[in-house]
Structure 1
Amino acid sequence: MCGITGYFSFTSPIDKSLIKQMTDSIIHRGPDGDGLWLSENKKMGLGHRRLSIIDLSDAASQPMISPDGRFAIVLNGEIYNYIELKNQLVSTGYTFRSSSDTEVLLALFATEGPACLQKLDGMFAFAVYDNVKQELFCARDRFGEKPFYFNYSPNQFLFASEIKALFAAGVTKEVSSKFVFNYLLYGVSDDINEPANTFYAEVKQLEPAHCITVTSDGKIIKQKYWLLDYEKTININISEAIEQYRFLFRRSVERRLRSDVPVGSSLSGGLDSSSVVLEVNRIKGQSQIQKTFSARFPGFVRDESRFMDLVNNRANVQPVSIFPTADSVMRNLEKIWYHQEIPFGSTSIGVQFEVMKAARDNGVLVLLDGQGADETMAGYTFYRNTYLNELRNSNSGRYQSEVKALKETHQLTMPAEGMKQKILRSGLLPVQLLRNLRKQIIRPDSSFFLGIHPDLVREYKNEPSPFPVFESLKEHLFFSSFKIGLTDLLRYADRNAMAHSVEVRLPFLSHELVEFVFSLPNTMFINEGWSKYILRRSMEDVLPTEIAWRKDKVGYEPPQTDWFSQPQYISIFSEAQEYLMAEKVINRPNSHYLWQHLMISKLLKTGAL
Structure 2
Amino acid sequence: MCGIAGIITATCSAEPDKQIREIQAMTGALAHRGPDGEGFWKDESNQVYFGHRRLSIIDVSPAAAQPMQYGNRFTIIYNGEIYNFKELRESLLATGYRFATASDTEVILAAYQEYGVSCVEQFDGMFAFAIWDAEKAELFLARDRMGEKPLFFTWQERRFLFASEMKALWAVGVPKKPDPHQVLLYLGAGVTGISLHPEQSFYQDIFQLPPAHRALLKIGNGIWGQLESERYWDLNSTRPVAPDRWHPTDEFRALLKESIRKRLRSDVPVGSSLSGGVDSSSIACLVKELGAENWTGFSALFPGFEKDESGLIMEFTSQLGIRSVTCTPTVEDLLSNLDRMLYHQEVPVESASALVQFKVMELAASEGVTVLLDGQGADELLGGYDSYIHWFLQELWRTGPRSEFKKELKAFTAHGWTGGWGWRNRFAAWFPQVAQEQLIKKQANAVERIPYINVNYLEAGFRKEQLYKPLVTSLQDILYFDLTMGRLPELLRYADRNSMAFGREIRLPYLQPNLMELAAGLPSGQKMQHGYTKWVLRDSMKEQLPASIAWQKRKIGYEPPQASWMQDARMKQKIFAARELLVDRGIFQKRYLDRPIGDTGTNQVYDWRVLVLGTLFAT
Taking structure 1 as the reference length, the TM-score comes to 0.94
Of 15, 21, 45, the match for 1:17: 21
1:503-546 Cα distance to aligned partner (Å, 9 max, x none): 11001110111001111111110012100000000111111110
The separation in 2 between residues aligned to 1:412 and 1:193, in whole angstroms, is 32
Of 367, 380, 399, the match for 2:372: 367
Are 1:3 and 1:49, in contact at CA under 8 Å, matched by a contact in 2? yes
Q: Which residue of 1 is the match for residue 457 of structure 2? A: 456
Q: Which residue of 1 is the match for residue 8 of structure 2? A: 8
Q: Which residue of 2 is the match for residue 565 of structure 1? A: 567
CA deviation after TM superposition for structure 1 residue 87, in Å: 0.5
Of 382, 399, 403, the match for 2:405: 399
1:377-405 Cα distance to aligned partner (Å, 9 max, x none): 00000101111111111112321121121
Of 282, 291, 297, the match for 1:284: 291
Q: Which residue of 2 is the match for residue 175 of structure 1? A: 178
Of 355, 358, 373, the match for 1:353: 358
Pairs within 5 Å for 1:62-211: 62-66=66-70, 68-153=71-156, 155-211=158-214
Are 1:184 and 1:452, in contact at CA under 8 Å, matched by a contact in 2? no
Query: In 2 relative to 1, CA 549–429 (structure 1 residues): closer, same or farther, beyond 3 Å?
Result: closer
Find out whether 1:319 has 2:332 as its counterpart.
no
Q: 1:399 corresponds to which letter in structure 2?
A: F
CA deviation after TM superposition for structure 1 residue 458, in Å: 2.5
* Structure 2: gaps spanning 5 or more residues: 596-602
SS at match of 1:284: coil
Of 495, 513, 516, the match for 1:511: 513
Query: In 2 relative to 1, CA 489–438 (structure 1 residues): closer, same or farther, beyond 3 Å?
Result: closer
Q: Which residue of 1 is the match for residue 600 of structure 2? A: none
The separation in 2 between residues aligned to 1:127 and 1:539, in whole angstroms, is 39
After superposing the two structures, state which structure 1 stretch, 356-365 or 239-248, moved more.
239-248
Are 1:423 and 1:429, in contact at CA under 8 Å, matched by a contact in 2? no
Are 1:231 and 1:474, in contact at CA under 8 Å, matched by a contact in 2? no
Q: 1:47 corresponds to which letter in structure 2?
A: G
Q: Which residue of 1 is the match for residue 308 of structure 2? A: 303
1:110-163 Cα distance to aligned partner (Å, 9 max, x none): 121111111100000000000011100000000010010111257121110010
Q: 2:478 corresponds to which letter in structure 1?
A: H
After superposing the two structures, state which structure 1 stretch, 245-254 or 167-176, moved more.
167-176
The separation in 2 between residues aligned to 1:121 and 1:434, in whole angstroms, is 39
Q: 1:417 corresponds to which letter in structure 2?
A: G
Q: Which residue of 2 is the match for residue 255 of structure 1? A: 262
The separation in 2 between residues aligned to 1:324 and 1:70, in whole angstroms, is 50
The separation in 2 between residues aligned to 1:237 and 1:364, in whole angstroms, is 42
The separation in 2 between residues aligned to 1:154 and 1:401, in whole angstroms, is 64
Find out whether 1:497 has 2:505 as its counterpart.
no
CA deviation after TM superposition for structure 1 residue 424, in Å: 3.3
Query: In 2 relative to 1, CA 462–117 (structure 1 residues): closer, same or farther, beyond 3 Å?
Result: closer
Are 1:253 and 1:280, in contact at CA under 8 Å, matched by a contact in 2? yes
Q: Which residue of 2 is the match for residue 484 of structure 1? A: 486
The separation in 1 between residues aligned to 2:439 and 2:282, in whole angstroms, is 40
The separation in 2 between residues aligned to 1:432 and 1:347, in whole angstroms, is 29
Are 2:246 and 2:523, in contact at CA under 8 Å, matched by a contact in 1? no
Of 366, 378, 381, the match for 1:376: 381
The separation in 1 between residues aligned to 2:433 and 2:140, in whole angstroms, is 45
The separation in 2 between residues aligned to 1:553 and 1:236, in whole angstroms, is 30
Q: Which residue of 1 is the match for residue 599 of structure 2? A: none
Q: Which residue of 2 is the match for residue 30 of structure 1? A: 34
Of 56, 59, 63, the match for 2:63: 59
Query: In 2 relative to 1, CA 452–107 (structure 1 residues): closer, same or farther, beyond 3 Å?
Result: same
Are 2:432 and 2:471, in contact at CA under 8 Å, matched by a contact in 1? no
Are 1:143 and 1:209, in contact at CA under 8 Å, matched by a contact in 2? yes
The separation in 1 between residues aligned to 2:188 and 2:548, in whole angstroms, is 38
1:325-348 Cα distance to aligned partner (Å, 9 max, x none): 110221111211111111112222
Q: Which residue of 2 is the match for residue 602 of structure 1? A: 615
SS at match of 2:539: helix
SS at match of 2:360: helix
Are 2:143 and 2:214, in contact at CA under 8 Å, matched by a contact in 1? yes
Q: Which residue of 2 is the match for residue 574 of structure 1? A: 576
Query: In 2 relative to 1, CA 427–360 (structure 1 residues): closer, same or farther, beyond 3 Å?
Result: closer
Are 2:433 and 2:471, in contact at CA under 8 Å, matched by a contact in 1? no
1:485-514 Cα distance to aligned partner (Å, 9 max, x none): 100111111111111101110011101110
Q: Which residue of 2 is the match for residue 470 of structure 1? A: 472
Q: 2:7 corresponds to which letter in structure 1?
A: Y
CA deviation after TM superposition for structure 1 residue 278, in Å: 1.2
Q: 2:450 corresponds to which letter in structure 1?
A: F
Q: CA RMSD in A?
A: 2.0
SS at match of 1:229: helix
The separation in 1 between residues aligned to 2:163 and 2:199, in whole angstroms, is 14
Q: Which residue of 1 is the match for residue 435 of structure 2? A: 431
Taking structure 2 as the reference length, the TM-score comes to 0.93
CA deviation after TM superposition for structure 1 residue 357, in Å: 1.0
Are 1:436 and 1:464, in contact at CA under 8 Å, matched by a contact in 2? no
Q: 2:479 corresponds to which letter in structure 1?
A: L
Task: Give the percent of matched residue pairs that are identical in Structure 1 and Structure 2.
Answer: 40
The separation in 1 between residues aligned to 2:369 and 2:528, in whole angstroms, is 36
Query: In 2 relative to 1, CA 583–252 (structure 1 residues): closer, same or farther, beyond 3 Å?
Result: same
* Structure 1: gaps spanning 5 or more residues: none
